Each structure stands twice: as C-alpha cells, then as structure tokens.
C-alpha cells in the first residue's frame, strides 16, 4: 500500500504536491482516507519525494547570472524573484515586495528589471487567476486565513526554463555592439564629414578639424617650452 501511495504522489502535479505540504484545507486527511493510510505516512512520503536542492529555480538563477546582455537592475530583480520562488515555478508578490527584497525604494526600478527579464524570455507574466487552481486559491485567499490576499487582477510570474528563452541577442536591442570600439574610433575620425551637403556652416563660421586643432596645441606648447 505504501508503494502504491508513493507512486500516486509522484504522479501528482507540482502545485498539488505544494497544496498537500501546506495542508491548509486538510488535503492530507483526504488523501489518507482514499488510501486507508495515516497522515504521518503521507507526510513522510511527501518528504521523501521532495525535490533535492537542484530545483529548476536554481538552474534558472544561474542561467540569468550568466547572461551578459542584461544589467545589474535585472540581476537584482532576478535574485528577488528567486527568493520568492518555490518548487512550482510560480510567484505572485507585489512589485513593492519585489522592490523591497531587491533593495530598491522605487517600484519603477523593479518594473524596468521585470521588463528586461520578460524581454529575454526568462519570465512570463500572467494574471493570478490564470495560475494553477490551487496556487491561485492560495494567492487570493485573505491573509488572515493563511493566504496572500492578492487581487484577482494582480500579476503573477512564471519562471521559464532557460532552454525556452528567446534569442534576443539576434535583434541587437539588448546586446552591446561587438564593434563598439571601432564605432568609437570612427566617431573620432580626423576629418568628420559634413552632415548634409545642403547644410552650410553655422553663421558662416569657418570649420576647424582635429588635425588643425592638434597642430595649434602643439605649436602653443613649443612656444611655451622656448619661453
């Protein structure tokens, strides 16, 4: 009987296992009645099949930290998300809670960090009511009854497996240019071209290029040295 019960528990979705571990509405007693088992046996089996400390959220955070196309704000946001994440891969804290956990006093910083993570496909935004039923119920239940007290219109976030992240680097919008040093050199060319052949010099002033400026400075330095 114990083996059959363990097999049953292993086939349950993650959110149902989370609900059993929380046991807010006597789910453990319900399962115990179905299998003629005692509640302590079910809790022991739940502990046995609990994922070890190599859950998806650890791999997710490691993958985020290895990205070179996001900034410090997105990394701090990812760490805050990780601190709320459990085995289910869903979280539903408010932006204010995420900002506090990330060390920001302004919620706008978290919104920018979340936008960066959404852009690379690391997280997916959804309504709380669209989460798995048990998780949505836990999020919407009032705090005094053991829930989170969130609104049905609130936003939740799902951690996306790194293998499914979009390849945003191909768009060139998030990655720094690989030729940025070359671009900088081109912007410092000795004889910059006129922006448009139809545009004359401002107020008739004569143009001066870098070569002339450099020779003038060197000449002034030589005169100072002789003096």
In this structure, the answer to whether residues 61 and 135 fall within a common structural domain is yes
In this structure, the answer to whether residues 66 and 155 fall within a common structural domain is yes
In this structure, the answer to whether residues 137 and 162 fall within a common structural domain is yes
In this structure, the answer to whether residues 44 and 62 fall within a common structural domain is no
In this structure, the answer to whether residues 77 and 165 fall within a common structural domain is yes
In this structure, the answer to whether residues 114 and 71 fall within a common structural domain is yes
Domain boundary residue among 171, 195, 211? 171
How many CA atoms lie within 13 Å of 70's alpha carbon, on the beta-carbon side? 25
What are 29-66's pLDDT values in tens digits? 999 999 999 999 998 998 887 754 334 888 999 999 99
In this structure, the answer to whether residues 207 and 185 fall within a common structural domain is yes
Domain span at 7 = 2-48
191 or 172, higher pLDDT: 191
Confidence band, pLDDT 50/70/90 cuts, at residue 205: very low
Helix spans in the chain (H): 2-10, 14-22, 27-35, 39-48, 56-65, 72-84, 95-102, 107-119, 133-140, 180-187, 210-226
Domain boundary residue among 171, 194, 217? 171
pTM reported for the whole predicted model: 0.52
In this structure, the answer to whether residues 122 and 18 fall within a common structural domain is no
Average pLDDT score over the chain:
75
In this structure, the answer to whether residues 63 and 165 fall within a common structural domain is yes
In this structure, the answer to whether residues 186 and 164 fall within a common structural domain is no
Mean pLDDT value across residues 128-155: 85
**Is the CB of residue 90 less than 8 Å from the CB of residue 127?**
no
What are 68-94's pLDDT values in tens digits? 889 999 999 999 999 998 888 899 999
Handedness of CA 110, 114, 119, 121 (dihedral sign): positive
Q: Residue 217: what pLDDT?
A: 46
Confidence band, pLDDT 50/70/90 cuts, at residue 122: very high
What are 97-111's pLDDT values in tens digits? 999 999 999 999 999
In this structure, the answer to whether residues 68 and 166 fall within a common structural domain is yes
In this structure, the answer to whether residues 64 and 99 fall within a common structural domain is yes
Q: Residue 180: what pLDDT?
A: 38
Count of structural domains within the chain: 3
Assign residue 132 the CATH number of its domain: 1.10.10
């Amino acid at each position: 009987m114990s083996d059959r019960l363990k097999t049953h528990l292993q086939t349950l979705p993650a959110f149902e296992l989370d609900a059993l571990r929380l046991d807010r509405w006597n789910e453990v007693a319900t399962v115990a009645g179905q299998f003629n088992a005692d509640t302590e046996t079910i809790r022991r089996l739940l502990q046995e099949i609990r994922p070890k400390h190599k859950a998806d959220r650890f791999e997710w955070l490691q993958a985020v930290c290895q990205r070179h196309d996001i900034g410090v704000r997105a990394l701090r946001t990812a760490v805050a998300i990780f601190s709320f994440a459990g085995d289910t891969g869903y979280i539903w804290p408010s932006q204010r809670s995420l900002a506090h956990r990330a060390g920001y006093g302004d919620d706008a910083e978290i919104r920018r960090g979340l936008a960066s993570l959404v852009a690379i496909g690391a997280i997916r935004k959804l309504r709380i009511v669209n989460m798995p039923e048990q998780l949505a119920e836990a999020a919407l239940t009032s705090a005094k009854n053991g829930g989170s007290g969130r609104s049905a219109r609130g936003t939740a976030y799902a951690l996306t497996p790194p293998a499914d992240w979009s390849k945003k680097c191909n768009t060139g919008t998030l990655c720094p240019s690989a030729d940025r040093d070359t671009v900088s050199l081109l912007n410092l060319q000795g004889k910059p071209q006129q922006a448009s052949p139809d545009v004359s010099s401002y107020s008739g002033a004569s143009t001066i290029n870098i070569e002339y400026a450099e020779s003038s400075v060197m000449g002034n330095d030589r005169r100072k040295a002789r003096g």
